[in-house]
Structure 1
């Protein structure tokens, strides 16, 4: 293949990669939901990116097409237009849906298990592995000198037959 053909192929692959990477980023925000005040809209987008879609669960409400996400986006914008601060809007949503609605829930007594759960599971798993190894080691008795000699004799006999 010529240098020019290789260059075209590389450019095509890079272009396809850019298209595929960009395809994963989609914002579900509908044109009718956008506020005319760009500063309020920017605040609304910032808040929306931190709120979890209750249906999709791993998407922000800004990225989700679910009806609940659309409703939450609408509520966020209504509260901002009404004059609420960003913290007041988040508090309003959390009061209704709990900390679960936050993509990054706070570290407090109610979310302690959520934050520490993976560490606890990892520690318990490690403890089980160590316990199992110690138990297996303790369950294998050491051979006496006579048993070792008998085992060696059996192995030697087997070697001669092969």
Structure 2
């Protein structure tokens, strides 16, 4: 009886570790490869996919990601390319759908200018406060006279 329950626990443990790995392996493999019309289209596709961010992975490009949504987005990008859309139109389609986060190099505008210039403004502001404090303290310090005792 004890050996049987130990065997059941061992099989359950193996299943818990093996099943997610199998599911991940199945999710990674793309069952249908993309078909390009020519080498120029393939090069354009790879360049565009490298400029787009996977919306699930968040730190990988669309070209590098193995997430299922990345496979779907790559198909969508290729379909839009084959419909004759320009790179700018494809990017705008994805931005409209997922937001500017999908772009690796977002456009510079007033909404994200704080992200671009905020750290610099904080450093310059801190330096200004430091200079102000040092100047203020130096005005209040009295120089030592000759009659005062020095250590």
TM-score w.r.t. length of structure 2: 0.65
Residue deviations 1:104-162 (CA, integer Å, cap 9, x gap): 11122222222222322232232233234334434543223332xx12xxx3xxxxxxx
Q: Which has the higher helix share?
A: 1
Aligned length: 123
RMSD value, Cα: 2.7
Q: Which runs of 5+ in 2 are unaligned?
A: 1-27
- Conservation of the 8 A alpha-carbon contact between 1:29 and 1:63: no
Q: Distance in 2 between matches of 1:51 and 1:85?
A: 14
SS of corresponding position for 1:95: helix
**Which residue matches 1:6?**
none
Q: Which runs of 5+ in 1 are unaligned?
A: 1-27, 156-162
Q: Distance in 1 between matches of 2:138 and 2:29?
A: 60
Residue deviations 1:18-45 (CA, integer Å, cap 9, x gap): xxxxxxxxxx995834323233222221
TM-score w.r.t. length of structure 1: 0.61
Q: Distance in 1 between matches of 2:112 and 2:41?
A: 31
Residue correspondence of structure 1 range 108-127 to structure 2 within 5 A:
108-127=109-128
Question: Quick one: structure 1 residues 101 and 128, their matched pair in 2 at CA, closer, same or farther if it must change by over 3 Å?
Answer: farther
